[in-house]
Amino acid sequence: MRRVAVVGAAGYVGGELLRILIGHPHVEVVVACSRRQAGRQVDNVHPNLRGLTGLTFVEPDALDCVDVLFLATQHTQTMGAIHGFTRLAKQVIDLSADFRLSDPEVYRRYYGVPHQAAELLGDFVYGLPELHRDRLRSADRVAVPGCMATAAILALHPLAAAGLIEGGASVDARTGSSGAGATAGPENLHAERSGSMRVFAPVRHRHEAEIAQQTGVAVRMTATGVEAVRGVQVLCRASLADGADERAVRQAYRRAYAGEPFIRIVAYTRGLYRLPEPKILTGSNFCDVGFAVDPASRSAVLVAALDNLVKGSAGNAVQSMNIRHGWPERAGLEFPGLHPN
Ligand SMILES: NC(=O)c1ccc[n+]([C@@H]2O[C@H](COP(=O)([O-])OP(=O)(O)OC[C@H]3O[C@@H](n4cnc5c(N)ncnc54)[C@H](OP(=O)(O)O)[C@@H]3O)[C@@H](O)[C@H]2O)c1
């Protein structure tokens, strides 16, 4: 059994990491860190874990060496502490945004502060197995993608790689309230959030930078908070290259995702769930990807959905760990989602 620890374990992503790791056949969770909750029992904060763990939160300063260290801390704050963390574990898996972008100048533009550990950016592998599985097999430093970025990249990449997209793309993302974390401000009060459809990033959402870096497509991104706790859905609109039609689009997805354990192509002409919907993905590590082509305008709408706390963060992190250690990729990630939900 490998010994693993989670920093930022009292947050939503941290809680989801604990849930998955506690049920994982090859690891033992030995430490859960939280500054604010130090001294409290983990299952006081994450009540779904009652009866499954006897752990108590400890201060990050009390952390000792482990085999794998997960960082579920906030972006712009993780990079300042990274040198201390990398001394404590052979494998460090960061779920914040701090090591996803290879260019520190792009980081400064999108996150508004200079990068504090730019010398380490080259050490991190982008933790998206569908694009970087080979590099993840030996990756001791992993930067797990953003939740909306994961969905958009998985929708756009197969077409971009096959040369089927002409020009840039627009990404319209919708997200549930857990995407804002457990320490969100007044905007996430029930009275303000319930029933809302709030366009909180009309232009230049931060994930734009990751999507462009990973797909090579210039994207313009909008993000809206919708009436859900979990879930991300993205709609990517793109013009198709000369000669590209629906058959070519379907083939590109099939080729890219044949054999992928967590990607399903969902593009049906009948039924209730014809295109990807996060509703049936709650708790699962699947990302469903679908499309519709308009031959008249030679354009396509690409749709992807996932659970932001699983394939959009904690599940993707565990999948990356599984690859590094040579374990079955599905280990700890078998839950199929719920219907009805
Ligand atoms: N939520 C999502 O859907 C999602 C998806 C993908 C990636 N992410 C990324 O994953 C990381 C964790 O996200 P999360 O949603 O779990 O966030 P969260 O619920 O706010 O918790 C993150 C941790 O950050 C610390 N923290 C929170 N507020 C703080 C503050 N004001 N000052 C200092 N520390 C603070 C807390 O640690 P202590 O208890 O030690 O204070 C907390 O446990 C973030 O970088 C986020 O961008 C989130």
Q: Give the DSSP letter string of 161-222.
A: HTT-EEEEEEEEEEE-GGGG-TT--GGGSHHHHTT--EEEESS--THHHHHHHHH---EEEE
Query: Picking from 27-41, 83-97, 172-186, which range would have the lowest pLDDT averaged per residue?
Result: 172-186
**How far, in Å, CA of 304 to CA of 49, rounded?**
30
Q: How much is the pLDDT for 183? A: 80
Name the residue with the closest Cα to ligand 1, atom 17.
Answer: 181
- Share above pLDDT 90 across residues of the chain, in percent, rounded to a whole number: 95
Q: How much is the pLDDT for 186? A: 84
pLDDT tens-digit readout, 255-291: 999 999 999 999 999 999 999 999 999 999 999 999 9
236 is catalytic: no
Report how far ligand 1's centroid is from the alpha carbon of 217 (Å): 29
What mean pLDDT, rounded, does the chain reach? 96
Residue 283, CA distances (Å) to 174, 231, 309 in order: 18, 10, 8
Q: How much is the pLDDT for 188? A: 78
Catalytic-role residue among 33, 65, 147, 287: 147
- Best CA proximity match to 261, nearest among 331, 159, 157, 341: 331
Q: How much is the pLDDT for 15? A: 98
Residues with CB under 6 A from ligand 1: 8, 10-14, 34-37, 72-75, 95-97, 146-147, 178-179, 181-183, 308-309, 312-313
Report how far ligand 1's centroid is from the alpha carbon of 239 (Å): 37
pLDDT tens-digit readout, 316-333: 999 999 999 999 999 999
Name the residue with the closest Cα to ligand 1, atom 35.
Answer: 74
Structure tokens at 23: 């049920």
Domains along the chain with CATH numbers: 2-123 (3.40.50.720), 147-306 (3.30.360.10)
| CA torsion through residues 320, 321, 327, 332, sign | negative
Report how far ligand 1's centroid is from the alpha carbon of 96 (Å): 8
- Best CA proximity match to 217, nearest among 252, 291, 167, 256: 167
pLDDT tens-digit readout, 80-106: 999 999 999 999 999 999 999 999 999
Measured from the Cα of 309, ligand 1's closest atom is 3
- Share above pLDDT 70 across residues of the chain, in percent, rounded to a whole number: 100
Report how far ligand 1's centroid is from the alpha carbon of 221 (Å): 23
Find where tokens 């904060």 sit: 45
For 299-317, what is the mean pLDDT? 98
Q: How much is the pLDDT for 5? A: 98
The total of other beta-carbon atoms located within 10 Å of residue 144's CB is 30
Q: How confident is the model at residue 185 (pLDDT cuts 50, 70, 90)?
A: confident
Q: How much is the pLDDT for 70? A: 98
For 220-232, what is the mean pLDDT? 96
